[in-house]
Amino acid sequence: MDIVEAIEAFGHGYSTARSFTHPSQFSKIGPIWVCQDAPRKASAYRGSEYIVYGVEPEEAVDRIRRHSDRRYAISVVSAPRDHPRAIRDEYRRLGYRLLRSEPFMVCPLRQAKRYECQTPIRRVETTEEALAAAQCGSGRRLILSEHIGVDDAPIRLYSAQCDGVSLAWARSIRHGPNAYVAGCYVKPEHRGKGIGRSLMSKLLEDDERLGVRTSVLLASSAGARLYPWLGYEQIGLLQLFTPIHAPKPKT
């Protein structure tokens, strides 16, 4: 899988997971991808997120400023051969601050490794299980009701539960032959017990069974240590920038 294909899987998955109430649209403006709201009331718009790869910073910023009249962020993906520090410095010169950097990782499922732990891991198949998983982390809805219990649904949610209480969750969002891991969360008090590794292993096992070839994700600092054990490899780095000064509305 090349970076462009991985970006497509990430962009579609991120747009899907961003909100079920007001789904985002994922498209391109020239060589740049954008995740933005579908048409709605002006006061209700969220910020847009632009994804840049292989475009010089000045050109990217010029295109984005001409396209956007609301809050936005720029996710710049760089390949291993690129120089992240130079990219960061150039965006700073253009008036942007770096919020965070995340390894961009992929796992060809033919090389995914399998793990099991003592905590039961299962795919969420009832509304009650979905609610329990949502309460485990942010409390946000993690899956649409029409996807619960449907084997080949585009969104699949997995949970580690004990006595009806969710300890961890992860979900996969499919885009064609690839899938994006839209979050993996383990409660702090249950970390270090192999739950996250087993949870991801079950998710990837189902991905492969359903015909997915490659899994894509962005890794936190903790995830960057976990995911290589499962077969993930870093193919790039995503740096997230926001304007130092808010954009002025178009007149």
CA atoms within 13 A on the CB side of 200: 27
pLDDT in tens for each of the 251 residues of the chain?
899 999 999 999 999 998 887 788 999 999 999 998 876 665 555 789 999 999 999 999 999 999 887 789 999 999 988 999 999 999 999 999 999 999 999 999 999 999 988 889 999 999 999 999 999 877 789 999 999 999 999 999 999 988 878 999 999 999 999 999 999 999 999 999 999 999 999 999 999 999 999 999 999 988 898 999 999 999 999 999 999 976 554 44
214 bridge partner residues: 108, 178
C-beta neighbour count of 121 within 10 angstroms: 21
Pick the CATH number of 109-233 from 3.40.50.280, 3.20.20.70, 3.30.479.10, 3.40.630.30: 3.40.630.30
C-alpha span between 24 and 34 (Å, rounded) = 10
On whether the CB atoms of residues 112 and 231 are closer than 8 A, the answer is yes
Residue 112 — φ and ψ, nearest 5°? -65, 140
Q: Cα 161 from chain centroid?
A: 23
Domain boundaries of the chain, sorted by first residue: 3-103+236-243, 109-233
Structure tokens at 118: 């003592």
CB 79 within 8 A of CB 236: yes
